[in-house]
Structure formats: C-alpha cells, structure tokens
A and B are shown apart, each in its own frame.
Chain A
Amino acid sequence: MKNIFTAELKKLYETFTQMGTEVSEQIERATQSYIDHDKAAAQSLIDRDNTINSNEVNLEKQALTLMTLQQPVADEFRNVITILKASSDLERIADHATGIALETIRVKGSHRNQDVEAKIADLTVVIRQMLAEALKAFHNIDMSKAQSVSEQDQQVDAKFDEIRQTITATIQEDPNVAEAGTSYLMVTKLLERIGDRIVNLVEEMVYNQTGEIVELNQGRLHPGES
C-alpha cells in the first residue's frame, strides 16, 4: 500500500519541481524583456502565465486525489500539504513576473538610467539563484539550506533599499526620469516580493520536516534593519 502513496508523492514532487523551473524562467524573461523594452517578449510571457496557472490547478487536483484516495497522516500528510502551499507560492511568484511584464508594456518615455537597470539585472540574478537553491533544498529536503536562503533574502532587501535610494537621487537630479523611476521602483518591489515568497518555500520545507511553523524572513522579524 505504501508503494502507491510513495509513487504518487514522487510524481507530485516532480510536477512541483517542473513548475518551479518554469517559474524561474519566467522571472528571467520578465526582467530581460523589461530591460530590453521588448514588448513582444513581455506579451508572450503574459500568455505563458496561463500555463503556469493551469499547472498549479493540476497539481492541486493531483494532491487532492492523493489525499482522498490514500488518506495520508502525520509526516505523509505534511508532505502533501507542503506541496500544496508551496505551489501556491510558486504561482504567486509567476504572477509577480507577469507584473513586471505588464510594466514593460505600460512604461513610456525614453528617459532611462542604465545604472538602475544594471542593478535590477543584478538583483534578478540573486533572486534566481535563491529560487534554484530553494527548489533544490525542497526536493532534497536539505534543511541546512533554509538559513542560507533566508540570508540571501537579506541581501535582496539590502539591494532593494540601495536601488530605491538610487532612483530617488536620480529623480531629484533630473525630474524627467520620474516616470521611468516609478516604474523601476515598482519592478524592484516586485522582485523583492519574489524574494519573500522564496523564503516561504524554505519555511514550508521546515514545516514539512519538523511540523514547526517558522518565520525565516528577517525583514519581517526585524523591520527597519537592513
């Protein structure tokens, strides 16, 4: 009997990892299209978000069927619940990437700041590394990575503050950049929120292993410090 549950759970993990990989690619495409001002690429990313949404729905169905037919309890029940919660976080991360793509289509004006754009690209690299590490840790149930992902999120928060200051200074110098500046700020904030969602993923992994609900988001634990 165990074999059926174990095999189905493995399939669930595979679906989840696949979804994670697609979401990571969406983040990359989102910032790249934003920096390139490539509206066509942004539109195709928005279209692809529907696939991710339906992947999440399918994963939910898979998990519900598994719970209904196999009645997992204790740690096995936590396994399924964790994937359900984590897939919801992945779906929201993809929504944030879509938000960046929408901003690419909306943004007007040609006043750009290459320094800020380089910093946004740099922030995206950190975010994607974080997501890759969280997904790997999630798959291998590697508790040691929880802390490291949490620390990377602190870096993300610090970079967000830094970019915000740069944007403010840029607008103060040249008010013509104001329109682009608010757009930069919005995109950076979306990336920062993605970071928080990635921390949720490792928090869920900790819950899966220990049954403890933990808060690993340092920004939330110590607001005002960065």
Chain B
Amino acid sequence: MTAILLTKNVHLSYGKKEALHGIDLDFDEHGITALIGPSGCGKSTFLRCLNRMNDLIPRTTVTGTFNFKGQDIYAPTTNLVELRKQIGMVFQQPNPFPFSVYENVTYGLRLTGHKDRQFLDEQVERSLKQAAVWDEVKDDLNKSALSFSGGQQQRICIARLLAVQPDIILLDEPTSALDPISSAQIETTLLALKNEYTIIIVTHNLQQASRIADKTAFMLNGNLVEFDLTSKMFTQPEQQDTSDYLNGKFG
C-alpha cells in the first residue's frame, strides 16, 4: 500500500485553545480509513484540515505537515478550488444545492468550464451509478434534488463529488442523519467505491467503522491514541483507552 496523504505533527488551535496536539496519520491510497472517538476529541477538526475547511473559521491556526501526492496542502500557492476538487467532502446533513439532480451533479464540471452536453450526460450517469443512486433518480433528473429522501440526497451529494473525479473523499458522519436502511445503502456504496478512491470517514457509529473500514484511528482529547487495521483494533486493541472506548465505558 502506498500512502496518498501523509500528515505529521498536526497542531490546530482555535484562538488560544489547542484542539489537536500533534497528530501523525498516513492514509493509504484506496481503501477506507475510519476516524473514531468521543464527541470533541478532534476527529472532525482533523478531517477538516485535510482539505482546508478550517480556513473558513476565524482565528484558527494549523501547523504541521500535510503532504498530498508530494504537494503541501497548506502551501501559499495551493489553489483551494483545485485542492477541494481532488479532496472532496460529504457532510453530516445532506446538502444538495436547491437545483435539479442534473444541475447538482454537473455543478463542479461546469465550474471547470465543461459545457459539452454529451460529456455532461455521461458524467451524470457515471457518477450517479457509482454513488448507487442512478436507478432511483434516472427518470427524475430534472426534479429538485431536495425532493428526494435523506438517503437519496446524501448519495446525490456523493455523486456530485464523484463527478469531478477526486482522489480522496472525506465524509463527516455521513449517515448520522439517516435511517438504518439508508445508512446501509451508503455503507454498501462506500465499499464499492473504495477500490477506486481513498475514503476517510468520521463516524460515531463503531459498528459502521468495524463493518467497512480497512484501518481505524482512535482519537481522544485531541490526540491520536491508536491507529491500526480495523480487524486488529476491534479484536485486540493495544491501548486500554481504545478498549474502554470500544466497550462503551466512556464517550
């Protein structure tokens, strides 16, 4: 496995309060990595560092190394639009734009200057198929994306992201607002995608991490406690804190 994204000694402060105290995490190309830990442990904060979403929060300081395919994510020359095209994010609440399904999926492509109708049609079909929602929306591509169920909206958001062919997909608790059936569909979708994309998912649902992630990182109070193969961590964790968390003793 080659690492596609390497992070080292990541510190993040909101004003004077430090939220991440030096995280080292490398992400293998392709496959799924889960970030788990109790609320407030810094897992979403860390995830948001990976495509510079924290830049939007005032008085936030990020230090450390972020090496994505040999390129420094935090270099002054980094083009943020290009970066977020390569490292896209799916959020907790499905957030489709208030346009049609077709417009949602082609939004990123249009931004980058694609106008050819046939090309756009092909990309819409490919993306929606990859996100496993094509069969459910193919007859309603001109309907508002907001008229679909939460689970379908979330998969449309995944399709919107896939349309621009990212390398890495970041997901911040993508199923916590969904019912169990929709959650299972998202999990199945992610498993199908992991052969082509690198997926990093923050989840509160330990069973979800155990079911789908190849590797899992456990964070606590802004520190990385343990990072290992999911099969190893869930059967024989190295650290007592990890074991206690997985057993529901706190968090």
**A residues adjacent to B (C-beta < 8 A):** 1, 4, 64-65, 68-71
Contacts and interface: CB of A to CB of B under 8 A. Distances in A.
Contacts of B211: 1, 4, 69-71
B188 interface: yes
B210 interface: yes
A131 B188 CA distance: 39
Contact of A68 (B187, B188, B191, B235): B235
B188 to A, nearest CB: 6
B231 interface: yes
Chain A at the B interface: SS class: helix
Given A1-B211, A4-B211, A64-B235, A69 B187 contact: no
B102 to A, nearest CB: 29
Nearest to B207: A71
B234 A68 contact: yes
B188 A69 contact: no
B239 to A, nearest CB: 17
A1 B210 contact: no
Nearest to B234: A68
Given A1-B211, A4-B211, A69 B191 contact: no
B100 to A, nearest CB: 31
Contacts of B230: 69
B184 interface: yes
Contact of A1 (B184, B234, B235): B184
B210 A69 contact: yes
Given A69-B231, A69-B234, A70-B210, 4 more contacts: A1-B187, A65-B231, A68-B234, A71-B211
Given A1-B184, A1-B188, A4-B191, A71 B235 contact: no
Nearest to B188: A1
Secondary structure dominating the interface of B: helix
Nearest to A5: B211
A68 B234 CA distance: 7
Nearest to B231: A65
Contacts of B188: 1
Contacts of B207: 71
B187 A65 contact: no
Closest 6 CB pairs between A and B? Answer: A69-B210, A68-B234, A68-B235, A1-B184, A65-B231, A71-B207
A50 B191 CA distance: 38
B142 to A, nearest CB: 32
19 contacts: A1-B184, A1-B187, A1-B188, A1-B191, A4-B211, A64-B235, A65-B231, A68-B210, A68-B231, A68-B234, A69-B210, A69-B211, A69-B230, A69-B231, A69-B234, A70-B210, A70-B211, A71-B210, A71-B211
B206 to A, nearest CB: 10
Contacts of A4: 191, 211
Contacts of A64: 235
Interface in B219-240: 230-231, 234-235
A65 B230 CA distance: 10
A208 to B, nearest CB: 23
A178 B184 CA distance: 68
Contacts of B191: 1, 4
A31 B191 CA distance: 50
B183 to A, nearest CB: 10
A4 B212 CA distance: 9
Interface string B186-211: 01100100000000000000010011
B10 to A, nearest CB: 28
Nearest to A70: B211
Contacts of A65: 231, 235
Contacts of A71: 207, 210-211
A157 to B, nearest CB: 42
Contacts of B187: 1
